[in-house]
């Protein structure tokens, strides 16, 4: 038996009401379960005044169509939140609070991070759900995509306003793409597309980028090019500068894949100028990496190497492991093409170190996975993010 809590009770009530079920409906629907959930028990659970067994938790999970692990994790979360001290309700939402949230998130203390970000809002309120979405965005922007994804999947099961639902679907699709879960991204994007407009301005701009990226992943390069141009216009219309820089890099990538390397270089130079003007080193890493690929396609290995070395320098300073993995992969392929055994071995050593910090490999990296497995004596290659995963 596990003790309940007011916060967990509010969460359960939200799940039930989102499915338009009464207490009596739940009791009738769980009569065939090993341990039915009576209406009196559910009422006490929703008011934080009862304990619940694992079998009853499983019965509710099946009825509410959510993972039983989600309910168990949420129950544990609420107990841990209740024990976290140091932040009182009514505290102002300041930059210091955001810094503490990110510090806790980076350290993997998501329970503490959630408690911090909800510190100024009553549990279960509209503002509290907005705070959870904000925490997920902060974690995703800080490179904590997997933590953000878990939180977004949790938030998506809660009752949300139309505006919050649009933001939740957008963030979920965006973050799923970041970790290579394309099918989940498509599902979230479809859910977003079905929602009535108008959406929040940043969602409108970001949704255009997701559509373009999904088209690009399907190999529909002509449509993807038009979609990225539309996304660029949308980003500029809402003055969302980070979106604009991303669009410039992706336009360069699509043009390279289409064989238009001159146009690709033009977009890449615009991205480098854009990132340089704003001191956006993350964007510069992506832009230099793409410039290297364009030069390599044009047969200018010397310029490709220079671009990747600059991207590596910046990425090291920011500790961008995913980007470093992509950069070293390109340098390894270049060294192997030039039959430079010393450089090839050096890149493989760096790559073996980096794979410990990433969850998925870049797409189309079978050659690298095989080389790493062969060199390390592993029986199987590391996991690779499939295009439709």
pLDDT in tens, 23-58: 999 999 999 888 899 999 999 888 888 888 888 888
* Model pTM above 0.85: no
Q: Is the pLDDT higher at 16 or at 121?
A: 16
Report the percentage of the chain scoring pLDDT > 90.
41
In whole angstroms, give the CA distance from residue 265 to residue 251: 10
Phi–psi pair at 380, nearest 5 degrees: -140, 155
pLDDT for 2 equals 44
pLDDT per residue as tens digits for the range 275-303: 999 999 999 999 999 999 999 999 999 99
pLDDT per residue as tens digits for the range 336-372: 999 999 999 999 999 888 877 765 566 656 677 777 7
pLDDT per residue as tens digits for the range 308-323: 999 999 999 988 888 9
pLDDT band at 384 (very low <50, low <70, confident <90, very high): very low
- Catalogue the long-range contacts made by 10-15 (C-beta closer than 8 Å, 24 or more residues apart): 10/46, 10/123, 10/124, 11/74, 11/78, 11/124, 11/158, 12/42, 12/45, 12/46, 12/60, 13/46, 13/124, 14/124, 14/158, 14/159, 15/60, 15/64, 15/66, 15/157, 15/158
Q: What is the mean pLDDT of residues 132-136?
A: 77
pLDDT band at 379 (very low <50, low <70, confident <90, very high): very low
Q: What is the mean pLDDT of residues 228-256?
A: 88
């Amino acid at each position: 038996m596990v003790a309940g809590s007011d916060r967990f009770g509010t969460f359960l009530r939200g799940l039930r009401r989102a499915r338009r079920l009464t207490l009596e409906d739940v009791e009738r629907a769980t009569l065939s379960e090993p341990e039915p959930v009576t209406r009196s028990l559910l009422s006490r659970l929703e008011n934080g005044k009862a304990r619940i067994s694992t079998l009853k938790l499983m019965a509710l999970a099946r009825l509410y169509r959510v993972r039983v692990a989600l309910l168990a994790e949420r129950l544990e979360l609420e107990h841990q939140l209740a024990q976290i001290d140091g932040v009182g309700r009514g505290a102002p939402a300041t930059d210091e609070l955001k810094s503490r949230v990110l510090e806790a998130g980076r350290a993997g203390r998501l329970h503490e991070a959630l408690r911090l970000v909800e510190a100024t809002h009553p549990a279960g309120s509209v503002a509290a759900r907005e705070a959870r979405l904000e925490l997920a965005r902060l974690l995703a922007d800080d490179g904590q995509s997997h933590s953000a994804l878990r939180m977004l999947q949790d938030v998506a099961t809660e009752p949300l306003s139309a505006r919050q639902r649009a933001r939740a679907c957008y963030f979920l699709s965006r973050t799923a793409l970041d970790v290579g879960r394309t099918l989940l991204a498509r599902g979230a994007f479809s859910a977003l597309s079905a929602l009535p407009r108008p959406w929040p301005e940043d969602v409108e701009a970001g949704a255009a980028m997701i559509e373009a990226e999904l088209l690009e992943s399907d190999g529909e390069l002509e449509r993807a090019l038009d979609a990225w141009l539309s996304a660029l216009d949308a980003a500029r219309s809402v003055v969302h500068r980070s979106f604009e820089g991303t669009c410039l890099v992706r336009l360069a990538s699509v043009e390279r894949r289409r064989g238009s390397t001159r146009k690709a270089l033009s977009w890449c130079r615009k991205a480098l100028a854009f990132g340089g003007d704003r001191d956006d080193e993350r964007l510069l890493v992506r832009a230099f990496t793409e410039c290297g690929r364009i030069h390599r396609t044009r047969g200018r290995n010397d310029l490709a190497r220079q671009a990747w070395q600059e991207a590596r320098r910046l990425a090291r300073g920011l500790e961008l492991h995913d980007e470093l993995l992509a950069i070293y992969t390109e340098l390894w392929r270049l060294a192997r093409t030039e039959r430079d055994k010393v450089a090839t071995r050096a890149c493989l050593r760096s790559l073996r170190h980096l794979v410990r910090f990433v969850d998925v490999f870049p797409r189309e990296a079978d050659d690298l996975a095989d080389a790493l497995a062969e060199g390390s004596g592993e029986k199987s290659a590391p996991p690779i993010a499939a295009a439709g995963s």
